[in-house]
Structure 1
Amino acid sequence: MQFPESWLREYCNPDLTTQQLADLLTMSGMEVEELQPVAPPFTGIVVAEILTAEQHPNADRLRVCTVDAGPHSKDGPLQIVCGAPNARAGIKIPLATVGAELPPGEDGKPFKIGKGKLRGVESQGMLCSARELKLSEDHGGLLELPLDAPVGQDIRAFLNLDDTLFTLKLTPNLGHALSVYGVAREVAALTGAPLKTLPTAPVVPTLDDTLSITVEAPDLCGRFSGRIVRGIDTKAKTPAWMVDRLARCGQRSVSALVDISNYVMFETGQPTHIFDLDKIHGGLTVRWGREGETLKLLNGNTITVDAQVGVIADTQAVESLAGIMGGDATSVGDDTTNVYVEAAFWWPDAVAGRSRRYNFSTDAGHRYERGVDPAHTVERIERITTLIQQICGGEATACGPVTDAIVNLPAKKPVALRVARAAKVIGMPVTQAQCSEVLTRLGLSFTESDGVLTVTPPSWRFDIEIEEDLIEEVIRVIGFDQLPLTAPVAPVTARVRPEAQRGSYALRRSVAALDYQETINFSFVEERWETELAGNTHPIRLLNPIAAPLSVMRSSLIGSLVQVLRHNLTRRAPRVRVFELGRVFQRDASVQTSEQSVVGIDQPLRVAGLAWGAAEPVQWGVKERAVDFFDVKADVEALVAPRVARFVAAEHPAMHPGRCARVELDGVAIGFVGELHPRWRQAYELPAGQGAPVLFELDVPALLARDVPAYQAVPRQQAVTRDIAVIVGDTVGHDAVITSLLAAPTGGLLRSAKLFDVYRPAAGAAGFEPGERSLAIRLELLDDEAPLTDARSDEAVKAALDAVQRDLGARLRGA
């Protein structure tokens, strides 16, 4: 919320500087997000009047003006050459006298005015536009001031340009502070400075005219007030003081009636609406919408309402979206002469979220969602009527009595404040007298008993429901800066992580050490990603997505990484290696609600990575090549080390069927690694000639577990290596061969078996059948107790060969 300091001080003017006032508001829970001067620094600008404006003798677009600047033109009127199209006799404008300094330009230096000549005619100053004073972007001509502006007065004093704009960042529970008067009421409570009352003088009705109002939905509208005003002039000009205040609240001037409504909303926090009375058919009915009803709003949008949206309707159609925005059909215009002024109390739950259904928000809806004081709707009608008569009135203006339909007002339940409990929660001693004083300053009515104050929340406070709310008010007014520095009573003990587990940040550092860069993406993604890249045809949908495409929760991290790759490729990134560690969301009926879970939804942690482009950064010592499956497989092995992963050929919706593997640890699948499917490379417009992106996605808990280092003696004997070459069919995998060899009954002598060569013979080669290949494997033999003899080594090798022959039909090459 934005407002000028001068308006606030009209209602409460504590003896504090601007900065002290801002600090006080921030420390009381109303964070001052920004302090901004109304105008930049400049000097020597005064109010002046143009006496004459003659055509320049040597320029078609220039005029020679004589200007009265009061005390600043001692030797008679000043002669000033001006090129503004609206320079004419009789108007009052800002004048930069000789020696004046205009606001700093782009270079940060002020512009100083001196005497000069324009096309041979002397100019003794400069007439200014609003843009030249940096008051607005209007550069269509001179800034015209009111005709009663005192000639010679400093323009900063006349326009109150030494004012400051306060921008508050309010939390949702502070709906009572969404007005200048609401903030003033808080300042009065915090400082003890007197609070002036709002102008609420009633207007004497001169008509008996009323409009029939029917409230059919008490759960939508609790109170509806209004009155008829006839004979107004909607073409009347909004006073400059009101236009200026609205502008300093961030609201541009629209028309007199709209400006009056907005002014009262910023002043009191009560949104109101003004209907064109002659466009209303019959009376007004407040009800819930009906399926199929449509409404054209003031912003030009045509919406369809339903039974979940509140409306105001006449006998023919829906005329307004309750608590949010009026309809175009009954809007006031230049031809309007009779109006109906409405102020209502709409239940917050009945308004909350309705604007977002139609992708817009309004100041009125923002306030009604947080709660608007239902006790003063009639007073707000009186205030608006007074302003209408002052600004748009005339001899023909007349108003009817205020109709006030009270249907269902909030019942304020008493809340008990125990002084002893308050002291315990706050953490410092407080007395009953202190608590009483705070509640009195806040305008909260209460009764006292021994150590207990029972408070009845006022109509404007929707945030006081439990004892802790009152405790917060007590310390907020006393001052958070009064809290003592107290050491904690309980000992602070670090939670030691088991040695067999590492933290998620250690895992992040491990992935980053493998040359991957971390990314953080939304948990909600496009439904297409889920269907195509995760094979999830029934994703968890969002009820209120922040953008139409991001409509479902992700069950895989792969889609997000593919999108990151696309983003980088559009910016000509030559090499991309990214990863993300985050939660995914899957349906699981076994999950129950807890502090960290929602019923029916599993939220496991996953880590996923993507590599594309060159395997290594460009350098002279290594030949450039594209990253492949085995590069990323090695990265996965490094992440699970010292545990050893098993890679089993498998299929994944996002990955190439022949270049994808399931990653297993101790027989349990923990994820997948593989190339992105060519179909998705084409569908997501990834370059075809620079290698395929290679991805992995793994369960985080499996990677956090690690083996505790165990002591093992250094072998006292020398290992023996034997190389063998076995012939197997193409359908026999490497993993099966190695597993068979290591499982052979060698008495524990065979310690490792590693493939170091693959030979695929030409067709018809001797010793090979069609569809066979040769695998060269190095066997490592070791006996910790005694040296190995050739006989024992041969026996172990034979046992290994027999096992692979028995299990897989392999044979020794050359046998």
Structure 2
Amino acid sequence: MKFTESWLREFTDPKISIEDIAAQLNLLGLEVSSVSKNLADFSKVVAGKIVSIAPHPDADKLQVCKVSISAASAASDLLQIVCGAKNIYVDMQVPVAIVGASLPNDFTIKPAKLRGVESYGMLCSAKELGLAEDASGILELDANIQLGTDLHAWFQKNQDTHIEIELTPNRGDCLSVLGIAREITVKNKTTLNLPTIEALSKEIVNPINIKISAKQACPAYRLRVIKNINQKTTTPKWIKDRLLSAGLRSKSFVVDVTNYVMLSIGQPLHAFDMDEISGDIEVRMAQSGETIRTLDDVEVALDIDTLVIADSSSVLAMAGIIGGMDSAVTEDTQNIVLESAFFTPKNINLKSRQYNLLTDSAMRFARGVDPKLNKFATEYATHLLLKYNDGKEALASNMVVQQQDVVSTKPITLQKAKVDKLLGVEISEKFIAETLVDLGNSIEKTATATWQVTPPSWRFDLAIVEDLIEEIARIYGYDNIPDVMPEFSYQSYKISNTANEIDMKNSLVNRGYQEAINYSFINEKLLNKIFRKGDFLKLRNPISKDMSIMRPSLIPGLLKNLDYNVKRQQERIRLFEIGKCFENIQNTKIEIPKLAAVAYGIVNPISWQDNKHTDFFDIKADVIAVLKSMNASSVRFSPIQDADPLLHPGKSAKILQGDKTIGLIGEVHPVVLKVFKIKQLIYVFELDIREISIENTSHFTKITKFPSIRRDFSVVLNKTITADRVIEVVKASSGDILQDIHIFDVYEKGFQESQQKSLSFNVVMQDKTATLTEEKVSTEINKIIGALQKELGAELRST
């Protein structure tokens, strides 16, 4: 659903910014995918006026325009521009890209000769300026814009903010600006304003009657005749602009008005050319052998269970889906029949998919249109048609209606105790009752803290008590529901070797991670972008194309989880998953238990201190903590020489236990970040649980009473030598008194020409049976220095 800020504020105008409105919509469950001015980068495009239009002497489809870009322009100052658009006219104000102008997609305007006629600029469509997708004609500017005005600056200041919302299928009530406004009204306690409609000063007699033969599929049908319509009327610019913002281009006066009403309040309308209708209108099922030539000029053979609108001689439209070409309004139409109806969702959903006609009208009827809306929609469309019709006064008839009671929603019993139990927080009776009423529900208190709730006519998705509780939670605010750990009693017991999954989970949860559980199936295209193409296990009969491969890794699923949360403005994300992965090794299909995690954003939750973003060493510490919780020792990290496309080649490593690879860790490759359209860095690790060796028991070591000694070293060595290799050499050269080694600095700046680096580390030495002597310490230091010189060619800088 696409719309503009000004359009929304006509229905409700809370005193908050559009960014705050977008944030509220996200928390209300309506995902805002974009909020923007929709303004591309262009320059030297100014407001101009067409002074004259002449036919091109050598091209039937081209015209030669004289254009003024200044109010004081003399005839000699007019620009000659050749244009092929059909919608231009004298005195039309248009965007003029003058010579030297730069348009989106790196297009520069130069003097040109088109079929022998000089052209010094270009008249621009909305698409050529990056304002909309419509390229059907030259963009018409507001006549109040001063000639010569820089249009990029003008649009920057005056362009309406565009909002796009990704709706879930259950929220068909929000496929209109009115539906979105209802949500904002409830959240901000503001007034909901419906469009003002002028009463008809006079009515003509409606000559057409209605017969509904398929009342279950069409419980309500309403029509009105409007005469003296001028289809050559130019649709008001504000309506055109709003249609463009919603992704629809202007077609004709009548069609533009019906589309605008549908987008504004959610009721699809259809207009027939009255002079092409024979007799009365009947809503019935199609008869055997009937066909219709639809508005997109396709002949469709109709099944006998297809609901149609027909006259005495033929089918006029597929009800709620698409109209017929034979009765369509054209440029010559003078009298129309305006249809507004309620068609049952099940019928429209089934047939629109069967015929592959997923129109805007069908989408709304399939999800449920308010059955009480058709009268107001007819009046609103009539008001706009009569108000803006050019020429002779348009006249509207009385409405002809066939309608039975439509029960779209059923009462639901709601108890406060159930609300509190499901939400985990106590909600007051007053808040529950007020919220339900604000959302349009009718409520009746039947007992203490118990209500009989009838959902509003526009909410087809409210069917069970949990639906109502979700509504209360949305308005209360999910972020206002506190995190409360469940209380339980337990008996302590010794964890066996097979229970390490519990230790891993607890370790990660304690470090701020949350567990995710994903499907074991994954999209093949996504997998090929992240990993090298391999012998993946492909399902013979996948439930969908997006779930055709048995996952070889947990990371793709976690990246999708992370992407979902990033789009909902989460600044700190830590997710992990433990589950089975699947590989085909030498034609043997095996299951591999793995642990994977992803980290994104700031290290700690927002506080008064400056915060840093997660880096490699933060997630490395998480890996060490997890393995330590499992009593896994002798763990080290080794740079990956040939990483998968998933990981940054210079910022990734293998996780080793002894000489055995047990996992990988690193920064996600920038190419993969682009796949998910994420700008900040992401870090991941994955462990093969089978390969991790653990100690069965923890060993007690008595704390020695003898002091330890620390010595610092700085050595110069080849920059290709890894820190892990240095640690390995130091440990191999030292005796039992070496307790620990820690690298604390690497410096390369002063050694760029020699391809060397300075590496600083300290060692901790301690004899558990006696106090260390200076002589013994010196012997150990000499051993370390000698080994570094011999094995690595290192030179000592300082100790």
Q: Give the TM-score of the pair, scaled to structure 2.
A: 0.57
Q: Using a 3 Å threshold, how does the CA distance of structure 1 residues 426 and 396 change in structure 2: closer, same or farther?
A: same
Matches within 5 A, 1:236-275: 236-275=233-272
CA drift at 1:41? 4.7
Query: Does residue 129 in structure 1 map to residue 130 in structure 2?
Result: no
Match of 1:92 in 2: 93
For residues 138 and 169 of structure 2, the distance between their equivalents in structure 1, rounded to whole angstroms, comes to 43
User: Matches of 2:285 and 2:496 in 1, distance apart?
Assistant: 55
Kept in 2: contact 1:215–1:285 (CA 8 A): yes
Q: Does 1:368 align with 2:369?
A: no
- Within a 5 Å distance, the mapping from 1:54-73 to structure 2 comes to 67=68, 69=70
Higher Cα Rg: structure 1 or 2? 1
Deviations 1:600-631 (A, max 9, x none): xxxxx99997xxxxxxxxxxxxxxxxxxxxxx
Whole-angstrom CA distance in 2 between matches of 1:173 and 1:396 = 43
Q: Tell me, yes or no, if the aligned pair for 1:149 and 1:158 is still in contact at 8 Å.
A: no
Q: CA separation in 2, counterparts of 1:468 and 1:408?
A: 27
The offset of 1:505, in angstroms, is 12
Give distance in 2, aligned partners of 1:138 and 1:238: 15
Structure 2 CA distance for aligned equivalents of residues 318 and 64 of structure 1: 46
Q: 1:171 to 1:337 in 2, by over 3 A?
A: same
What residue number does 1:315 align with?
312
Instruction: State how 1:270-349 maps to structure 2 within 5 Å.
Output: 270-349=267-346
Q: Which amino acid aligns with 2:406?
A: L
Partner of residue 442 from structure 1, selected from 439, 443, 460: 439
Q: Which residue of 1 aligns with 2:458?
A: 460
| CA-to-aligned-CA distance 1:701-731 (integer Å, 9 cap, x gap) | xxxxx9xxxxxxxxxxxxxxxxxxxxxxxxx
Gap change, CA 1:185 and 1:154, over 3 Å in 2: farther
Displacement of 1:164:
2.7
Contact (CA 8 Å) 2:50, 2:65: kept in 1 or not? no
- Aligned ranges 1:135-154 → 2 under 5 Å: 135-136=131-132, 143-147=139-143, 149-151=145-147
Task: Give the Å deviation of 1:105.
Answer: 4.5
For 2:535, the equivalent position in structure 1 comes to 517
Return the alpha-carbon distance in structure 1 between the equivalents of residues 104 and 466 of structure 2: 50
1:489 is aligned to 487
Q: Is the 8 A contact 1:446 1:456 kept in 2?
A: yes
Q: Secondary structure at the match of 1:226?
A: strand
1:247, distance to aligned residue in structure 2 (A): 1.0
Q: 1:159 to 1:311 in 2, by over 3 A?
A: farther
The 8 Å contact of residues 205 and 401 in structure 1, kept in 2 or not, is answered as: no
3-state DSSP of counterpart to 1:375: coil
1:39 deviation in Å? Answer: 1.9
Instruction: Map 1:22-41 to 2 at 5 A.
Output: 22-41=22-41
> How far apart are 1:439 and its partner, in Å?
2.0
Measure how far apart 1:342 and its partner are. Answer: 0.5
1:24 is matched by which residue type in structure 2?
A: Q
The residue aligned with 1:356 is 353
Tell me the amino acid that sits aligned with residue 93 of structure 2.
K
Provide the rounded CA distance (Å) in 2 between the counterparts of 1:505 and 1:95: 54
Query: By how many angstroms is 1:104 displaced?
Result: 5.6
SS at match of 1:83: strand
Q: Is the 8 A contact 2:408 2:457 kept in 1?
A: no
Distance 2:14 2:220 in 1: 35
Over 3 Å counting, the alpha-carbon distance change for 1:280 and 1:422 in structure 2 is: same
**Contact between 2:49 and 2:147, CA under 8 Å: does it hold in 1?**
yes
User: Aligned in 2, Cα 1:147/1:343: closer, same or farther, shift over 3 Å?
Assistant: same
Q: Which amino acid aligns with 2:95?
A: P
Matches within 5 A, 1:789-808: none
SS at match of 1:484: coil
Is the 1:444–1:456 Cα contact (8 Å) retained in structure 2? yes
CA contact (8 A) 1:69 1:77 kept: no
Provide closer, same or farther for how the CA distance between residues 461 and 497 of structure 1 changes in structure 2, counting only shifts above 3 A.
farther
CA contact (8 A) 2:96 2:124 kept: no
Equivalent residue number for residue 478 of structure 2: 480
2:14 aligned partner: 14
Question: Following the alignment from structure 1 to structure 2, what is the Cα–Cα distance between the partners of residues 280 and 505?
Answer: 55
Q: Counterparts in 2 of 1:563-642, with a 5 A limit?
A: 635-636=587-588
CA contact (8 A) 2:65 2:83 kept: no
Equivalent position SS for 1:211: coil
Report the Cα offset of residue 468 of structure 1: 1.4
Say whether the 8 Å CA contact 2:30–2:165 is kept in structure 1. yes
In structure 2, the CA distance between the partners of 1:383 and 1:118, relative to structure 1 (3 Å rule), is closer
Please tell me the residue identity of whatever aligns with 1:518: F
Amino acid at match of 1:198: P
2:473 counterpart letter in structure 1: I
The number of equivalent residue pairs is 520
Map of 1:681-720 to 2, 5 A cutoff?
none
SS at match of 1:374: coil
**Superposed CA offset, 1:615-666 (max 9, x none):** xxxxxxxxxxxxxxxxx9x745x969xxxxxxxxxxxxxxxxxxxxxxxxxx
Deviation per CA, 1:229-272: give whole Å up to 9, x if none: 11211222222221111111011111111111111100110001
Inter-CA distance 221–160: structure 2 relative to 1 (3 Å threshold): farther
Structure 2 unaligned blocks of 5 or more:
56-61, 501-517, 523-532, 554-579, 592-689, 691-799
Find the aligned partners of 2:386 and 2:419 in 1 and give their Cα distance: 50
Shift of 1:444: 2.4
1:289–1:310 Cα contact (<8 Å) kept: yes
Tell me, yes or no, if the aligned pair for 1:67 and 1:78 is still in contact at 8 Å: no
Aligned residues of 2:185 and 2:191 also touching (Cα < 8 A): yes
C-alpha deviation, 1:466, in angstroms: 1.9
- 1:160-193 deviation digits (Å, cap 9, x = unpaired): 7532322211112211111011111111111223
Tell me by how many angstroms 1:324 deviates: 0.8
Give the drift of 1:308. Answer: 2.7
Pairwise CA distance, 1:84: 3.6
Q: Percent identity?
A: 30
Please report how far the alpha carbon of residue 495 of structure 1 lies from its aligned counterpart in structure 2 after TM superposition.
13
Q: CA deviation at 1:429?
A: 1.4
Q: The residue matched to 1:369 in structure 2 has which SS?
A: helix
SS in 2 for 1:517: coil
Equivalent position SS for 1:319: strand
C-alpha contact (below 8 Å) 2:46/2:95 kept by paired residues? yes
Amino acid at match of 1:31: E
Q: Give a deviation string over 1:258-304, Cα, whole Å, max 9, x none.
A: 11111110011000111111222211111222333222211222222
Contact persistence 1:346–1:368 (CA under 8 A): yes
Query: Contact (CA 8 Å) 1:48, 1:151: kept in 2 or not?
Result: yes
One-letter code of the match for 2:124?
Answer: S
Q: By how many angstroms is 1:212 displaced?
A: 1.3
Which of 151, 162, 166 in structure 2 is aligned with 1:165?
Answer: 162
Choose which of 421, 430, 433 in structure 2 pairs with 1:433: 430
In structure 2, the residue corresponding to 1:29 is in which secondary structure? coil
- Per-residue deviation, 1:88: 9.2
Q: Secondary structure at the match of 1:320?
A: strand
Give the match for residue 415 of structure 1: 412
Counterpart of 1:348 in structure 2: which amino acid?
Answer: P
Distance 1:78 1:521 in 2: 73
Gaps of 5+ in 1: 56-60, 509-514, 526-545, 551-556, 565-577, 580-604, 610-631, 641-705, 707-815
**Structure 2 Cα separation of the partners of residues 250 and 506 of structure 1:** 37
Q: How far has the Cα of 1:137 moved from its partner?
A: 6.8
Q: Matched residues in 1 for 2:306 and 2:53: separation?
A: 59
1:450-474 Cα deviation digits (max 9, x unpaired)? 2123322222121222221111111
